[in-house]
């Protein structure tokens, strides 16, 4: 071949590669983990200020840990498809919990199985001996899920393993003697959340065992002893318990420390499908004891929920938040197993909630876990407008041309009239968010909010019962291209719902009622995109 024909041949090959890569753009191809943000992040339904993976399937947030100015977020990830499959841990980091940089996949499936949900800690005392150069490692503890063993009929297909990193989570080694906790014969035995318990100077891991929570302790993250179980007789049991979290919190405006236990369950949620319940009590390093003042709320199958909407699941809190900060910062998966694999996004599936601060309130109504968006979100606010007090007896347009927004609206508590805030688009689609005084409920109705025929469980009205009195009704709404999060009454009642309108909702109005309603004050800001 002459030089000319070689060069022609190379050009033809190059063209062929280009054409085939263009074609594969319509369906997700292999993920390019360049370490930088990938893609335009402007596909239909793409969240603009919520975390979503660059491409392919994501479910639970995992291994959230803070180290040296970086918040790590790992997540259940299947890089070959937009539906669930052999699980990996995807990885991203942030300096402010708002802007994210995608990093290469951290953990790949191995001979013990898929890498299911778990957590990460900084072993700063190097109790594990897995550190390097006198520094303790970052250790991830996760569930190894063997689909082969599962298929063979064994019940022991879920075991707990560890992996460690000595370079700020950039590269990982699996521990050579995995698993570190072997399955005693319990079918659903997974989702490890590890904490360091200062009182007993031991590691404590909590994880789900079908219908209860199981607790083990260890001096070194490698050798574990079963110490107690919790929950068979408390809370909701209409599904499998998954993804627990256990952490201490200072009760708001007091010096009292209580322990909060989060416990996801699927199905069994208050509006169907997946949701996360919680318990308040004490923990001595071995045993979680429910607080007598909380016990009556979770007896006889009753449950209290972190979020009463349909789309907040498997949420847990960050480890290693510096004491000077002291917040319990929570992140959930913004979907529901009823339809997560069917939602109409194209090259990726799922997003996370906005990170939330969890606050434990004690009042005449007992202990209550409140959630509010983290204050770092304020940095995205722009074009802020305030609304003056007004008596509303006809529909009132409060926002236009604003598809990513934060709306804060305070009303005098109405006697009879339902307050409805309608988010809508130019296609005539809408989502109603409101407060119904007759039933003492907040609601989100996504029956007319765009695509819904992918699942019978998707449309309709979700309701959240409230069990407290307040003189005003306070909505804090976060609107993104495919979700709304409601933090009502200063975080006391929370609902999260995804939707698929086309184009995105960019307008908000307060809907006309028979009797007038009183707006006390309002504040509306656009939120800048993060990608
Ligand atoms: C919860 C869950 C976990 C499991 C993971 C698998 O959504 O089912 O229990 O570890 O997802 O992806």
Token representation of residue 35: 């370490």
Q: What is the mean pLDDT of residues 249-267?
A: 98
Locate the ligand 1 atom nearest the alpha carbon of residue 60 and give its number.
Answer: 7
Give the pLDDT confidence score for residue 469 in this predicted structure: 92
Going from the Cα of 245 to the center of ligand 1, the distance in angstroms, rounded, reads: 14
pLDDT surpassing 50 at residue 336 = yes
How many angstroms does the Cα of residue 276 sit away from the middle of ligand 1? 13
**Calpha distance 191→314 (Å, rounded):** 9
Residue 329 has which token pair?
């910062």
Distance between Cα 501 and ligand 1 center (Å): 28
Instruction: Give dist(CA 267, CA 382) in Å, integer.
Output: 39
Pocket test for ligand 1, best of 53, 57, 58, 60 (most atoms within 8 A of CB): 60
Q: Which atom of ligand 1 is nearest to the CA of 242?
A: 9
Q: To the nearest whole percent, how much of the chain has pLDDT over 90?
A: 91
Active-site residue 506, yes or no? no
C-alpha of residue 271 to centroid of ligand 1, in Å:
20
Q: Which ligand 1 atom sits nearest the alpha carbon of residue 143?
A: 10
Q: Which atom of ligand 1 is nearest to the CA of 188?
A: 9
CA 160 to ligand 1 center in whole angstroms: 14
* Ligand 1 atom closest to Cα of residue 76: 12
Separation of 505 CA from ligand 1 center, angstroms? 31
Residue 39 has pLDDT above 90, yes or no: no
pLDDT of residue 8: 42
Query: Which runs of E-coded beta strand occur in 82-157?
Result: 88-94, 101-107, 114-122, 138-145
Question: Who contacts 502 (Cβ-Cβ below 8 Å, separation ≥6)?
Answer: 44, 425, 427, 429, 450, 451
Helices (H), 101-256: 147-151
Mutate to test the pocket of ligand 1, among 265, 314, 339 (most ligand atoms within 8 A of CB): 314
Tokens of 462: 């979700």
Distance 24 CA to ligand 1 centre (A): 29
With bands split at pLDDT 50, 70 and 90, how would you rate the model's confidence at 12?
Answer: very low
Active-site annotation holder among 60, 191, 311, 432: 60
Res. 223: pLDDT tops 50: yes
The per-residue DSSP string of 407-447 comes to EEEEEEPPSSPPEEEEEE-TTS-EEEEEEETTTTEEEEEEE
User: What is the rounded distance in angstroms from the CA atom of residue 242 to the CA atom of residue 207?
Assistant: 8
Q: Which of 57, 76, 210 to mutate to test the pocket of ligand 1 (most atoms within 8 A of CB)?
A: 76
Residue nearest (by alpha carbon) to ligand 1 atom 6? 116
What lines the ligand 1 site, CB under 6 Å?
59-60, 76, 87, 116-117, 143, 190-191, 242-243, 314
* Probe target for ligand 1 pocket from 56, 57, 58, 59, with the most ligand atoms within 8 Å of CB: 59
Residue 240 CA: nearest ligand 1 atom is 9
Local structure of residue 252 (DSSP, 8 states) = T
* DSSP, residue by residue, 390-414: EEESS-EEEE-S-SSEEEEEEEEPP
Q: How far apart are CA 138 and CA 245, in angstroms?
A: 19
* 193: pLDDT strictly greater than 70: yes
| Ligand 1 atom at minimum distance from 264 CA | 1
Q: What is the model's pTM?
A: 0.93
pLDDT 10s digits, 437-454: 999 999 999 999 999 999
Q: What is the CA radius of gyration of the chain?
A: 24
Q: What is the pLDDT of residue 5?
A: 47
**pLDDT for the residue numbered 37:** 53
60 CA to middle of ligand 1, Å?
7
Examine the pLDDT at 101 and tell me if it is beyond 60: yes
Q: Record the tokens describing residue 363, joined without a space.
A: 């009042």
- Cα 474 to ligand 1 centre (Å): 34
Over range 110-137, report the average pLDDT: 97
pLDDT in the model for residue 3 = 44
Q: What is the pLDDT of residue 512?
A: 83
Q: How far apart are CA 315 and CA 276, in angstroms?
A: 7
The residue nearest atom 9 of ligand 1, judged by CA position, is 242
The residue whose CA has the least distance to atom 8 of ligand 1 is 242
The arithmetic mean of pLDDT across residues 140-147, rounded, is: 98
- pLDDT per residue over 285-327, tens digit each? 999 999 999 999 999 999 999 999 999 999 999 999 999 999 9
- Contact (Cβ atoms closer than 8 angstroms) between residue 24 and residue 46: no
pLDDT at 284: 98
Residue 19, pLDDT score: 31
């Amino acid at each position: 071949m002459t030089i000319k024909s070689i060069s022609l041949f190379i050009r033809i090959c190059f063209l062929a590669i280009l054409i085939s890569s263009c074609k594969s753009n319509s369906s997700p191809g292999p993920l390019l983990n360049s370490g930088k943000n990938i893609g335009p992040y402007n596909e239909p339904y793409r969240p603009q200020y919520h975390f979503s993976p660059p491409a392919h399937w994501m479910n639970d947030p995992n291994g959230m840990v803070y180290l040296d100015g970086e918040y790590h977020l790992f997540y259940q990830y299947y890089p070959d498809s937009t539906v669930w499959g052999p699980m990996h841990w995807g990885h991203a980091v942030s300096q402010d919990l708002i802007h994210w940089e995608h990093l290469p996949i951290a953990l790949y499936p191995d001979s013990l199985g898929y890498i299911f949900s778990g957590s990460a800690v900084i072993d700063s005392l190097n109790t594990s001996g897995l550190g390097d150069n006198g520094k303790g490692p970052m250790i991830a503890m996760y569930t190894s899920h063997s689909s082969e063993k599962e298929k063979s009929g064994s019940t022991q297909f879920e075991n707990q393993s560890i992996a460690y990193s000595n370079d700020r989570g950039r590269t990982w080694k699996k521990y050579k003697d995995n698993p570190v906790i072997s399955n005693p014969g319990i079918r659903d035995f997974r989702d490890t959340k590890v904490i360091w318990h200062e009182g007993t100077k031991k590691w404590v891991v909590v994880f789900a065992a079908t219908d209860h929570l199981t607790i083990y302790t260890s001096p070194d993250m490698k050798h574990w002893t079963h110490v107690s179980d919790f929950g068979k007789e408390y809370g909701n049991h209409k599904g499998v318990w998954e993804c627990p979290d256990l952490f201490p919190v200072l009760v708001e405006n007091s010096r009292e420390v209580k322990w909060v236990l989060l416990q996801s369950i699927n199905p069994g949620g208050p509006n169907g499908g997946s949701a996360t319940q919680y318990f308040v009590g004490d923990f001595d390093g071995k045993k979680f004891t429910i607080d007598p003042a909380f016990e009556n709320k979770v007896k006889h199958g009753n449950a209290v929920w972190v979020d009463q909407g349909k789309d907040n699941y498997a949420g847990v809190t960050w480890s290693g938040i510096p004491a000077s900060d002291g917040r319990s910062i929570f992140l959930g998966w913004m979907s529901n197993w009823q339809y997560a694999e069917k939602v109409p996004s194209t090259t990726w599936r799922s997003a996370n909630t906005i990170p939330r601060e969890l606050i434990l309130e004690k009042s005449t109504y007992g202990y209550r876990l409140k959630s509010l968006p983290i204050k770092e979100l304020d940095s995205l606010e722009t074009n802020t407008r305030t609304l003056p007090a007004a008596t509303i007896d006809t529909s009132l347009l409060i926002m236009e041309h604003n598809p990513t927004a934060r709306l804060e609206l305070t009303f005098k508590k109405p006697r009879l009239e339902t307050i409805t805030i309608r988010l809508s688009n130019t296609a005539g689609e809408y989502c109603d968010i409101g407060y119904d005084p007759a039933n003492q409920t907040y609601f989100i109705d996504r029956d007319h909010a765009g695509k819904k025929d992918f699942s019978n469980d998707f449309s309709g009205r979700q309701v959240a019962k409230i069990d407290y009195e307040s003189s005003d009704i306070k909505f804090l709404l976060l609107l993104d291209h495919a979700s709304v999060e409601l933090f009502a009454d200063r975080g006391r009642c929370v609902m999260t719902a995804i939707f698929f309108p086309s184009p995105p909702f960019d307008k908000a109005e307060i809907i006309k009622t028979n009797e007038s309603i009183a707006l006390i004050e309002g504040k509306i800001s656009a939120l800048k995109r993060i990608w």
